[in-house]
Structure 1
Amino acid sequence: MQRNSIHDSIIASLTRHAALDEDDYAALRGLQLSPRQIEPSTYLVREGEKPARCAFILSGFTYRQKLTSNGARQIVSLQIPGEFVDLQNLWLNESDHNVQALTRTQIADIDIGALRTVVTTRPAIATAMWRTSLIDSSIFREWIVNIGRRDAHTRVGHLLCEFSLRLEAAGIATTGAYDLPMTQEQLGDTVGLTPVHVNRVLKALAQRGLIERDRRKIRIVDWVGLRDASDFNPRYLHLGQS
């Protein structure tokens, strides 16, 4: 992807959250970008390190994760194309979590110092990035509820509903049909279940006529049924926030 196209993608992402003017566009187009491709499991951010750059996802998926002292992993969020990976590290001196590539991913790195300058001098851009971070926090809260207060079938179904709407909003999936970017093990680390349990839940959702699946291809057959069975309300995604 050409750098001009990357700048346009960043502008399109931010204008979903705030109205930008021509001076804002010029400030964003003035950012120096370092495009690169990373392979699955590659670390973009490591816990304990001082962040030096912020990544914008062009294609592919990344995820945040935390490890316990005995090596158990909890996946705490998923980032999709058109999203920034780590805006919170603009103002923090040390990363408190890890970010890894979930799939082969194309990103554009932006120097944190340069991004801070844009944020502090262009209020509308600051508003857009602040809203982006607030939506991230909203999704974190919902995932906590998912793990803490929902049963296995509801947890998995809720995540399938979320993926459907987020991928559709990003223009990379049709209504109710998409390629699931996670393995069953990774889904398990997201919803607090074993891979075997995740497989059983997916089979049960299919048997109930709520979804169809072919390996990682998911099609939601009965959106209302899955939504209701999964205690899903899209309010927390704040789609169309501007």
Structure 2
Amino acid sequence: MPPELAPRGLDFLLRKLLSHSLLSTDDQNAIAALPFSLRRLDAGSVIIREGERCDICPILLSGFAYRHKMTGDGGRQIVALKLPGDPLDFQSLYLTRADHTVQALNPVELAVIPNREIERLIMARPSLSRAVVVDILIEASIGREWLLNIGRRNALARLAHLICEIHYRLAISATSLVESDLPVTQEQLADLLGLTPVHINRTLKELERAGAVARAGRRIRIGNLDRLRDLADFSDLYLHSPDATMHDRGVMAGA
């Protein structure tokens, strides 16, 4: 591993963990000392395959990846979108086999850490063990919001909510969908949101007419974040970032 690559790859992991957990300087140095290898993969490449044992933890450095499940007749549901800085499979530290497939959405760069090295670290350092568990819990929180999104929001709010989420999650890697584009096809958005590509196209046009998004070909970026948040009825509380704010969504207290 060339020395000049080490700070970049492990800085991404550190940045992600520090976005939700307090870590001492010693803990941060221990993460920086983890061995890893750098991999570059093309769009569509399988990173983790359902049913296989996984003994590595890839950290996404650039590009987007997605987790999906398949039905017996070939239908696909994208169940998670992974952004730069995200560990792709912390759960394999605790589970024997992958119950999902992770693929590269566009060309990606990964820092690949052997699971045994992470296991060694978290066994010796309780704060790091807690940070890994918190990361897994936040991923589960995002999954719950996605379930609500697909099950209870209309198409316009559903798509607007997803774009808002990606914008706020990208802040960890010091970018946003105001300055950069979302490289997701309408077919992929359909598999992600439980809609048809035709419905996605119609909904994107509606968001564009509202000034909430701007498009250039297949690329999407945010045109007006406040307008997009209003259309999505968006609260970033479920992302559990230190500066998350509770936007009133009309949720009733009590049972």
TM-score normalized by structure 1? 0.93
**C-alpha distance in structure 2 between counterparts of 1:66 and 1:241, whole Å:** 32
Between stretches 70-79 and 3-12, larger displacement belongs to 3-12
- Aligned residue number for residue 115 of structure 2: 112
Deviation at 1:222, TM superposition (A): 3.2
After superposition, the Cα gap between the structure-2 partners of 1:22 and 1:230, relative to the gap in structure 1 and judged at 3 Å, is closer
Secondary structure in structure 2 of the residue aligned to 1:44 = strand
Task: Tell me the residue number matched to 1:122.
Answer: 125
The runs of 5 or more residues in structure 1 that have no matched partner are: none
Deviations 1:104-162 (A, max 9, x none): 10001111111111111111111211111111111100100111111111111111111
Q: Is the 8 A contact 1:177 1:217 kept in 2?
A: no
Aligned length: 241
Gap runs ≥5 in structure 2: 245-255
Tell me the equivalent position of 1:221. 223
Q: 2:237 aligns with which of 214, 225, 235?
A: 235
Q: Which runs of 4+ in 1 moved over 4 A?
A: none
User: CA contact under 8 A between 1:17 and 1:241: conserved in structure 2?
Assistant: no
Name the CA distance, whole Å, in 2 between partners of 1:131 and 1:68. Answer: 30
The Cα shift of 1:216 comes to 3.8
Among residues 70, 73, 78, which one is paired with 1:70 in the alignment?
A: 73
Are 2:214 and 1:212 aligned? Answer: yes
Q: Which residue of 2 aligns with 1:187?
A: 189
Cα distance, 1:11 vs structure 2: 2.1
Partner of 2:168: 165
In structure 2, C-alpha distance between the alignment counterparts of 1:9 and 1:191, rounded to whole Å: 28
Q: Aligned pair 1:97/2:100, yes or no?
A: yes
Higher mean alpha-carbon deviation, 162-171 vs 113-122, is at 162-171
Other structure's SS at 1:78 match: strand
> Which deviates the most, 211-220 or 94-103?
211-220
> How much does 1:170 deviate?
2.1
Number of the residue aligned with 2:8: 5
Is 1:42 aligned with 2:42? no
CA contact (8 A) 1:60 1:104 kept: yes
SS of the aligned residue for 2:180 comes to strand
Select the residue among 22, 25, 31 that pairs with 2:25: 22
Give the drift of 1:213. Answer: 1.7
1:79-122 residue CA offsets vs partner (Å, 9 max, x unmatched): 11111001011110011000001111000111111111111111
- SS of residue matched to 1:2: helix
User: Normalising by the residue count of structure 2, what TM-score does the alignment of the two structures yield?
Assistant: 0.89
Whether the 8 Å contact between 1:157 and 1:230 is mirrored in structure 2 is: yes
Instruction: Decide which of 34, 58, 61 is 1:58's aligned counterpart.
Output: 61
